[in-house]
A = this chain, B = another copy of it.
Amino acid sequence: MRHFYVKSTKGRTCGDFNLNDTAGGAGRLDIIARAVNSALWLSHSLRRDVVFHTILFGEPNPPIYIKITGEKVRKVQPDERNITIFLKKAIERFEEGRVTQTTPGIFSSRKTFEELVEENKACDFYILCEDGDDISSVDISENAFFVLGDKEDISDDEVKVLEDAGARKISLGKTPYLTSHCVGFLNMYMDRMEEKADK
């Protein structure tokens, strides 16, 4: 399995936002929607071996954790608006004290970042940041769990939690890229590495 986590620093935790204003009222859920597209879509299918994670830290009810499993997700289209409709459902159907499958393959629940890392400690964590080791110099595990910020980097406390879990900082270059572009690049880079290894 390949995992991507994108922090949503201000992602709204109530479904009262307008789908025409996801960059504003929804607390930059447009960034999350584009990252979901990059994480899960291929040309005519979905990546069944990818799990996408986000935690929304925006008002009024943080943190809400959303997990999207490529293996089980259905009916979602790759455009930003459609993905956001499903994120909105995950937020609206969130229930305190339990894990809710809000639509096929999409789950919401209460979870802190520390709990998420603890739950996934069997994975190898990689923090994407410009001052990390260049990806070409790192042997990325098949069980990679990539951690990215949205418009803001993850916090120092979150870096500490990850480093305590053995995380390594990696970089895709000196240029600061959009989160969704990093996710897409990582998927294709990893595919290429795996194809090469199969030869």
Contact = CB atoms under 8 A, between A and B. Distances in A.
A38 B41 CA distance: 15
A192 B189 CA distance: 12
Contacts of A177: 42-43, 188
Given A43-B176, A188-B181, A79 B77 contact: no
Contacts of A37: 34, 178, 180
A195 interface: yes
A168 interface: no
Contact of A79 (B44, B80, B172, B187): B80
A158 to B, nearest CB: 19
Contacts of A79: 22-23, 30, 34, 80
Interface in A132-184: 172-178, 180-181, 184
A99 B62 CA distance: 50
Contact of A185 (B20, B42, B77, B184): B184
Contact of A23 (B44, B77, B191, B192): B77
Interface in A61-92: 77-82
A78 B178 contact: yes
Given A43-B177, A79-B80, A181-B38, A172 B188 contact: yes
A44 B176 contact: yes
A180 B18 CA distance: 25
Contacts of A180: 37, 184
Given A30-B79, A80-B79, A81-B20, A181 B184 contact: yes
A80 B34 CA distance: 9
Contacts of A181: 38, 41, 184, 187-188
Contacts of A185: 184-185, 188
The 9 closest A-B pairs by CB, nearest first: A43-B176, A80-B80, A30-B79, A181-B184, A185-B188, A184-B184, A23-B79, A41-B178, A173-B192
